[in-house]
Copies of this chain bind each other. A is one copy, B any other.
């Protein structure tokens, strides 16, 4: 019996070894040339501590001054960031054939430039916290927003990832935003540019595409898509503007879809729930679904009086 099992396991190994040698992408054995997911999420955790210096509990606060703590944290982030960036630069056309010294030097320069942008990132996130507090009557205080609001977390990660994206780092920015996507259900591509005072409420199901541009003081709810009209062109559409532009002071309610690279939503616009937009909207407009017609029946076990029906007809033409 044990012998029979051993034989069958050997057969499995042979079968897999044969399967691995078919030369498909899935068979490529290349374990040391890609970023480490754990290292990337660890970077995010440490960057979060740098962004909110006082909020995230760390026992080392007891023993070190803030300055020492931040120095240690920054050095740690810097060295890990350089290592991860050096890995992924090999995937780019420019560094595919470069020496490891050249690659390392470029990774170091990118990592330092990125860290020098943290005050700018913090300036924006401070406005995001304010926007969440102003926008949500259920918010108890700003600590609650920083601790508990998935929208703020997704925005923070998107802002970090966007700076790395702008510095030409491949793979890592998307790994960061997909980590946030997994935790929050909010899918913001690192390429999207986002102004100050951005507020995401609830957030699950939100998709914000790569070439989206969002102005200041914009508020969006769960299930909103800022997407492309069609991706039939596939890889040929790469780097084309495929996603909408949202100007300042816009509110987009839950389930709305705004699609297309030439679609511009003007200043001070409000887009109602479930609205489906594929053309531009002028400044100041309030857009909502017109007369969603509903039909109703009634349960014979719970009859309505005839006059109830008459009344009902009215309020089924809603919004």
Binding site for B on A (CB under 8 A): 5, 8-9, 12-13, 15-17, 19-20, 24-32, 34-37, 50-58, 61, 66-67, 70-71, 74-75, 78, 91, 108, 112, 115-116, 118-119, 122, 125-126, 129-130, 133-144, 147-150, 170-171, 174-175, 178, 181-185, 187, 189, 191, 201-202, 204-207, 209-210, 222-223, 225, 227-228, 231, 233-238, 240, 242, 254-255, 257, 259, 267-268, 273-280, 282-299, 301-304, 308, 312, 315-316, 318-319
Taking a contact as CB atoms under 8 Å apart, the answer to whether B116 and A9 are in contact is no
Whole-angstrom distance between the alpha carbons of A215 and B248 in the complex? 41
Set of chain B residues within 8 Å of A280, measured between Cβ atoms: 315
A122 to B225, CA, bound (A): 32
Given A138-B209, A254-B227, A304-B282, CB of A71 within 8 Å of CB of B178? no
Across the interface, do B254 and A273 meet the contact criterion of CB distance under 8 Å? no
Beta-carbon nearest neighbor of A140 in chain B: B170
**A319 CB → nearest B CB, Å:** 6
Docked Cα-Cα span, A115 to B280, in Å, equals 53
Would you call A171 and B150 a contact (CB within 8 A)?
A: no
Contact between A242 and B116, CB atoms less than 8 A apart: no
Query: In the complex where A26-B126, A299-B268 touch, is A70 in contact with B137 (Cβ < 8 A)?
Result: no
Partner of A304, one of B53, B61, B240, B283: B283
In the assembled complex, 26 residue pairs joining A and B whose CB atoms fall closer than 8 Å, in A order, are A9-B78, A12-B112, A13-B70, A16-B119, A24-B126, A25-B126, A27-B54, A29-B66, A34-B55, A144-B174, A185-B204, A185-B205, A187-B202, A222-B225, A225-B254, A227-B254, A255-B257, A268-B299, A273-B276, A276-B292, A277-B318, A279-B318, A285-B297, A288-B295, A290-B293, A295-B319
Contacts of A66 in B (CB 8 A): 17, 20, 29
